[in-house]
Amino acid sequence: MGFDIIKILCGLLALINPDLGYSNYMILNNNWSHFLASVFVAIISANVTFFLTQFEMIGPVLASSLVGLLGYLFIKQYAALVYCASFVGMSSVAVGYNHYLISLASFLAFVVFHLSTNYLTGHGGKLGTIAFVASILVYLLFL
């Protein structure tokens, strides 16, 4: 059911803006395994960063850069997505974030990441802004 909703949502967004190359590619080629793998990678990397952030010895900066580096070394095609999701994981427990909210925020970050594939390329801070949009949305809705 949830999967169908995502499919319809992506289809509608692709209809509104035909320039959304990557979303279109995924829908037209029925490349759902890639889509699911991307969601999985985003959620896992955000949660790993969030988990590592809670250790005082590591801290958010080291956790995020470590996850980003590991993402580049092991899953190169998802490196940017891993790095983007790791910024979501830098959210603090003190604000009220937990693993469920981080998972939701990372999914939102994934959606925004794919919708903005053709926009602002080469602009510093793009990935961070995507993560910020997702995190602040979750913060405003649930916290």
Among residues 64, 108, 110, 114, which is the contact residue for other proteins, using CB under 8 A?
Answer: 64
- Max CA pair span of the chain: 48
Does residue 127 touch other proteins according to CB under 8 A? yes
What is the residue type of 7?
K
Least distance from C-beta 103 to other proteins, angstroms?
A: 13
Within a 10 A sphere around the Cβ of 82, how many other Cβ atoms?
25
Does residue 123 touch other proteins according to CB under 8 A? yes
Among residues 9, 15, 62, 141, which is the contact residue for other proteins, using CB under 8 A?
Answer: 62
User: Which residues are CB-neighbours of 116 under 8 A, at least 6 positions away?
Assistant: 126, 130
Within 3-32, the residues that bind other proteins by CB under 8 A are none
By CB under 8 A, how many residues form the interface with other proteins? 43
Residues of this chain that interact with other proteins (CB under 8 A) are 59-62, 64-66, 68-69, 71-72, 76, 79-80, 82-83, 87-92, 94-95, 97, 105, 121-136, 139
